[in-house]
Amino acid sequence: MGAELLDARPALALLVSATGAGLIMLIGYRARLRAWLAVGAAVLKFVIVWSMLPGVLAGQVYGLTLFEVLPGLALELRVDALGLFFALVSSTLWIPATIYALAYMRGRQGQRRFFSFFALCVATTVGIAFAENLLTLFVFYELLTVCTYPLVIHEGGLAARRAGRRYLIYTLSGGALILTGMVVVQHLAGTLSLSGTGILDSIDNHAALLAIFVLLVAGFGVKAAIMPLHSWLPAAMVAPVPVSALLHAVAVVKAGVFGLMRVVYNVFGVEHMRVLGFAGYLGLLAGFTILAASVIALRQHNLKRLLAWSTISQLSYIVLAISLLTPAATLAGIIHLANQAFAKITMFFAAGAIQRATGKTRIDELDGIGRQLPAVMASFTVAGLSFIGVPLLAGFITKWYLSLGALQAGSGGYMVVLALSGLLNAAYWLPILYRAWFKPPAGVAAAGNTSPLAGSAALSPMMLVPLLICAAYVLLLGVGAEAPAMPFVLAEAAVRLVFGLPGPAP
Amino acid sequence: MALLALAAIGVPLAGAVLMIGPGRHSRRAAAAIVVVATAVTAGLCLLLAAHAGAAPPAGLTLIQLVPPMPIALRVDAMGALFALTVALLGVLATLHALVWLREDRRYWQYHAVLLLCMGLMLLVAFAANLITLLVGYELFSLAAFVLIVHQRSPKAFAAGFKYLAYILPASALTLIGTVLLVFHFGSIEFMPGGVLDRAIPPAAYVAWICLVLGFGVKAALFPLHGWVPDAHPAAPAPFSAVLSGVMVATGSFAMLRVLFELFGPAALGQMGVMPWLGTAAGVGVILAGVLALGEDDLKRRLAWSTISQMGYVLLAASLLDTQALAGALAHLANHAFIKGGLFFCAGAFIFSAGVHKVSELGGLAWRMPLTAVVLTVLSLALIGVPPLSGFVGKWMMGGAMAADGALLPLSVLLLGSLLAALYLWPVLAAIWSPAEDNAAVEPPARGGGDPPRLMCLALAGSALFSLLFGLAAVVTGYPLGLAVRAAAVLTGGATP
């Protein structure tokens, strides 16, 4: 392990977004200025986060203490491979998400508020990623909840407020559980640090350990949408599309699974976890969620709701990967953070583009949409095939390592779960692709006056380009394991840290 | 060598990409692209086949797909044999398709997807490890759907969905089998003699079942053949030819690769699992032959025949005998041109006379003499009449079975040939029947004569190949020479 360096960049990354948010709130009255502020902050943060990649790959760890809350309890940032991976994913995705949001929200109410909170969310996400201890993690985790709430209810109206209330109740209860668990950990271990591989090794109070595990897993499990803690997620679909993208791909649910990773890898540590044997139950729950959410997804008629259920299923891939406690599974879980994020954000962007261009939101209205919006549907197709697990796309990589990880853990049965899940994914994505590409557009026979290109023309390139970039990334993640700047290497480094394996020669 | 293989894979893929650009707007451009791409590919594959097996196969690693498993290519006799078959049939099918699709709106799309499928099949042929093979295999399985439903009719979609319903679970099984092999064998790089160097783990049986079932779906192995008789009539005739000729064979090819070069003949013999495969294949040979008897739709009848004929390959392979395997591989290649040609004929009848059914073929020979002659030659070849190509493989397989004293497989082989004679006889009888029987048939759709020249060329080509590979099997070196060499390597009798 490399030396720990004092470095301001972790805090800078955080501040850039926060400052961006503040400036948008204060002076972002004009659309053009607002756009520049939002995109500028995104790009700047992207650069800062990526600039830490070479160092971290070489084994460097960057740390910075913000301030001490109480003696021994500090808000402290620390950049290790796992945290940087999460930060990279979210800060990379934030750029296309912001550009897309600028186009999508054009002409709507409350844009200043929207973009301000949008930027704050990503700032807090970076805080979560770079948190050195549970307390810091918890603080940013709660801030994230608070910052997303105005976005969820952005559209106004009864449904939005109801969804927002449910979101708050679920996530704040989760937060309360985490807080309780954290207090117990502090009491027993005397530290909340996440820099090692386990702080509870010396404790042999089985009941207390189980309590900590249940509290922390249930707490983070709310945002990770493990069944039965999932129901806020489909409800939150009333939010505008960029917010859904934020919830599903960039920040919120990812914060949940990332928290779980920290609990299992850094609070307990894989070795200790394996001895305790709690993770097996988590794996069962995840396996159940993978299948059950997919079965429910089969019966959805609204495209966005289908995407929500698919997210629940996909997140549990990561949860399952965490619970298996083997190197290949861990690798699968970490890279699925990115794989799921890029594929799912592609789908949300596509759903939003379809809605913007044609006003269609139901799956059975999508007949022939591929002919109207070829680029949009091509991207959607790439993402869909990735979820099914077609080789050369991102999803296949996850499936491969997760299957291998299940075998390593001696639970080969999960391979069957994955296979079934792949088939279920085919059963709900392929009908959409069939409608889009193979069915004649509805209403063409009835009203011949609609030009087939009317839809594409209405789409701003600011929506189309982010969509295409994300779809390209799904492909890149599927084939580019060796590319030097790809997160894959970073994920491998993270796995080595988690398992205490020797690194490759730098 | 491996670079040449990369080029052979790349040319059709590049053609498919080009098709989206210029090919989309002009039929002429599309036709030019597809003809050039298939011809160049065939030339490259000829070169590869001429040199394959002379030296130890050189590998070429492209990228790390799932580290430490790379995408890697390798040229050996078996791969070259299969690649050349794909490429040559691809040329013929393209000629046929140029006529068949003359008035089709989705002209460029058909050719683009076909080129894509060809490139991916060549990737399967030249794959150096199982993960590379899987990439090509899964992708072309999906792409084939587009061609099966090309006609966009409800019937075509029904067949396409059925195809997917078979293929998707199969690919799930294949993946499970692959991961099991990676974990328990440690390597999935194809090696003559297999990669297993220790005691057989119990999971090897599970992996065997997963992989045989997974590849068996595409290989039309009984009882997984259900999609075959529906997909063939639904697809455009030139694609039916490719489907029966090489796509089904890709399943058999992949299965043979995995069985002989990952498990290895020694381990398979020890596991004692191959008789199960042989039994399933043998039942398929007989059952499909019987079902073909009662089928009036010509393309469906031919599809049943494919199931029956491809059963031979796996039946012979299950004996783990060098000569039987050589016969099986030769049959795999010869069958491609025979069955492809028969589908070309079926397509010609539909195209020129609008006739789909065996019962409506009466007397067509007097109006379409060339087609009828080709049909006759190919039928005889399929039955296994010497000196046509179908005889070669069957003779070798039968000889090996007789030498091993495997009388049951031998009788299945003979019975299958008898059935082939029985289900093809009515076709020949009808077509050569005197012309006045034909009064009931409505006036022909397009003049009713032999089809246009390019289509005739495809027909004549397939007949010529099946004559050539029978008469001059030893002289040309393809397919028999390659098959013998490949079988020797696979069963460990010779070093590559």
Close Cβ partners of B472 (under 8 Å, ≥ 6 residues apart): none
Rg (CA), chain B: 21
Phi, psi for A496 (deg, rounded to 5): -65, -40
Q: How many CB atoms lie within 10 A of CB B155?
A: 12
Q: What is the identity of the amino acid at A288?
A: F
- The reply to whether A222 falls in a domain is no
Q: CA nearest B207 in A: which residue?
A: A412
Inter-chain touch A404–B175, beta carbons under 8 Å: no
- Identify the CA nearest to A337 among candidates A53, A10, A83: A83
Q: Which residue has the tokens 């683009």?
A: B112
A392: phi > 0 → left, psi -120 to 50 → alpha, else beta; which?
Answer: left
Q: CA nearest B63 in A: which residue?
A: A482
- Distance, in Å, from the CA atom of A249 to the CA atom of A246, rounded to the nearest integer, reads 6
A479 contacts in B (CB within 8 Å)?
A: 63, 65
Residue A349, domain extent: 278-506
Interval A271-287 mean pLDDT: 89
> What is the pairing mode between strands A61-70 and B59-66?
unpaired
- 3-state SS of chain A: helix, strand, coil percent to 5? 75, 5, 20
Inter-chain touch A401–B66, beta carbons under 8 Å: yes
B138 contacts in A (CB within 8 Å)?
A: 390-391
β-partners of residue A62 are A5, A79
- The reply to whether A152 falls in a domain is no
Close Cβ partners of B139 (under 8 Å, ≥ 6 residues apart): A390, A391, A392, B120
**Whole-number mean pLDDT of chain B?**
87
Inter-chain touch A438–B134, beta carbons under 8 Å: no
Inter-chain touch A390–B149, beta carbons under 8 Å: no
In tens, the pLDDT along A178-211 reads 999 998 888 888 888 888 888 888 888 888 889 8
Q: Look up residue A301 and give its two tokens.
A: 């008629």
- Distance, in Å, from the CA atom of A230 to the CA atom of A170, rounded to the nearest integer, reads 9
**Residue B292 has what pLDDT?**
92
- Distance, in Å, from the CA atom of A317 to the CA atom of A402, rounded to the nearest integer, reads 8
Q: Which residue has the tokens 């996909």?
A: A314
A438 contacts in B (CB within 8 Å)?
A: 149, 152, 157
- Could you tell me the end-to-end alpha-carbon distance of chain B, in angstroms, rounded to an integer? 14
Distance from CA of A434 to the nearest CA of B (A): 10
The shortest CB-CB distance from A392 to any of B139, B164, B180 is to B139
Q: How many domains does chain A have?
A: 1
Inter-chain touch B183–A438, beta carbons under 8 Å: no
**Residue A458 has what pLDDT?**
66
Q: CA nearest B172 in A: which residue?
A: A419
* Confidence label for B420 from pLDDT (cuts 50, 70 and 90): very high
- Identify the CA nearest to A64 among candidates A122, A22, A126: A126
The shortest CB-CB distance from A438 to any of B67, B131, B152 is to B152
A420 contacts in B (CB within 8 Å)?
A: 172
Helix (H, G, I), strand (E, B) or coil at B72: strand
- Distance, in Å, from the CA atom of A464 to the CA atom of B70, rounded to the nearest integer, reads 33
What's the distance, CA A318 to chain centroid?
A: 10
Inter-chain touch A438–B164, beta carbons under 8 Å: no
Answer yes or no: is pLDDT of A394 > 80.
yes
Distance from CA of A9 to the nearest CA of B (A): 31
Inter-chain touch B172–A422, beta carbons under 8 Å: yes
Q: How many CB atoms lie within 10 A of CB A308?
A: 26
Inter-chain touch B139–A389, beta carbons under 8 Å: no
Helix (H, G, I), strand (E, B) or coil at B74: strand
The ranges assigned to domains in chain B are: 2-490
**Residue B366 has what pLDDT?**
84
Inter-chain touch A438–B149, beta carbons under 8 Å: yes
Q: Which of A190-194, B186-190, B446-450, B465-469 has the lowest mean pLDDT?
A: B446-450
- The reply to whether A9 falls in a domain is no
- Distance, in Å, from the CA atom of A142 to the CA atom of A219, rounded to the nearest integer, reads 11
A430 contacts in B (CB within 8 Å)?
A: 164
- The reply to whether A156 falls in a domain is no
B139 contacts in A (CB within 8 Å)?
A: 390-392
**Residue B496 has what pLDDT?**
43
In tens, the pLDDT along A280-295 reads 899 999 999 999 999 9
- Distance, in Å, from the CA atom of A164 to the CA atom of A150, rounded to the nearest integer, reads 8
Interval B298-302 mean pLDDT: 91
β-partners of residue A67 are A75
- The reply to whether A434 falls in a domain is yes
Which of A400, A411, A482 has the most B C-beta neighbours within 10 Å, making it the best mutation to test the interface with B? A400
Q: At what angle do helices B453-471 and B322-348 cross, to 10 degrees?
A: 160
> Which CA distances in Å does B118 have to B51, B74, B88, B122, B278?
21, 17, 11, 6, 29
- Please, what sign has the CA dihedral across residues A184, A186, A188, A193? positive
Q: CA nearest B65 in A: which residue?
A: A479
Q: Which residue has the tokens 């021994």?
A: A72
Q: Which residue has the tokens 């072309």?
A: B140
> Which CA distances in Å does B266 have to B130, B197, B215?
19, 11, 21
- The reply to whether A155 falls in a domain is no
A412 contacts in B (CB within 8 Å)?
A: 180, 203
Q: At what angle do helices A31-51 and A9-27 cross, to 10 degrees?
A: 180
Q: What angle do CA B137, B274, B173 make, to 5 degrees?
A: 35
Between B303 and A32, the higher pLDDT residue = B303
Q: At what angle do helices B154-185 and A413-438 cross, to 10 degrees?
A: 150
**Residue B109 has what pLDDT?**
87
Inter-chain touch A419–B134, beta carbons under 8 Å: no
Answer yes or no: is pLDDT of A76 > 60.
yes
Residue B206: burial class (beta carbons within 10 Å; 0-12, 13-18, 19+): middle
Interface ipTM above 0.85: yes
Between B434 and A354, the higher pLDDT residue = A354
Q: How many CB atoms lie within 10 A of CB B181?
A: 24
Percent of chain A whose pLDDT exceeds 90: 24
Q: CA nearest B173 in A: which residue?
A: A419
β-partners of residue B297 are B357
Establish, for the pair of chains A and B, how many residue pairs have beta carbons separated by less than 8 Å: 67
Please report which helix (H) or strand (E) contains residue A422, including its range: helix A413-438
In tens, the pLDDT along A452-506 reads 444 555 678 888 888 998 899 888 888 877 776 667 888 888 888 888 877 653 3
- Distance, in Å, from the CA atom of B326 to the CA atom of B313, rounded to the nearest integer, reads 10
- Distance, in Å, from the CA atom of B379 to the CA atom of B359, rounded to the nearest integer, reads 17
- Distance, in Å, from the CA atom of B73 to the CA atom of B83, rounded to the nearest integer, reads 13
Rg (CA), chain A: 22
Interval A369-385 mean pLDDT: 90
Distance from CA of B179 to the nearest CA of A (A): 6
Which of B66, B153, B180 has the most A C-beta neighbours within 10 Å, making it the best mutation to test the interface with A? B66
Please report which helix (H) or strand (E) contains residue B60, including its range: strand B59-66
Q: Look up residue A455 and give its two tokens.
A: 């839809």
Q: Look up residue A243 and give its two tokens.
A: 């917010």
- Distance, in Å, from the CA atom of A348 to the CA atom of B394, rounded to the nearest integer, reads 56
Inter-chain touch A422–B179, beta carbons under 8 Å: no
Q: Look up residue B409 and give its two tokens.
A: 């497989």
Measured CB to CB, residues of chain B less than 8 Å from chain A are 63-67, 131, 134-135, 138-139, 142, 149, 152, 157, 164, 168-169, 172-173, 175-176, 179-180, 182-183, 203
Distance from CA of A274 to the nearest CA of B (A): 21
β-partners of residue B72 are B61
- The reply to whether A132 falls in a domain is no
Residue B442, CA atoms < 13 Å, CB-side half-sphere = 6
Torsion, Cα A104 A110 A116 A119, to 10 degrees, reads: -20
Q: Look up residue B306 and give its two tokens.
A: 């494919």
**Residue A451 has what pLDDT?**
46
- Distance, in Å, from the CA atom of B167 to the CA atom of B171, rounded to the nearest integer, reads 6
Which of A411, A476, A482 has the most B C-beta neighbours within 10 Å, making it the best mutation to test the interface with B? A482
- 3-state SS of chain B: helix, strand, coil percent to 5? 75, 5, 20
- Distance, in Å, from the CA atom of B204 to the CA atom of A502, rounded to the nearest integer, reads 32
Distance from CA of B183 to the nearest CA of A (A): 7
> Which CA distances in Å does A70 have to A6, A67, A75?
21, 9, 10
The shortest CB-CB distance from A481 to any of B64, B138, B203 is to B64
- Please, what sign has the CA dihedral across residues A315, A321, A327, A332? negative
Inter-chain touch A481–B67, beta carbons under 8 Å: yes
- Distance, in Å, from the CA atom of B446 to the CA atom of B169, rounded to the nearest integer, reads 43
Beta-strand ranges (E) seen in A33-164 are 61-70, 73-79
* Confidence label for A118 from pLDDT (cuts 50, 70 and 90): confident
**Residue B446 has what pLDDT?**
52
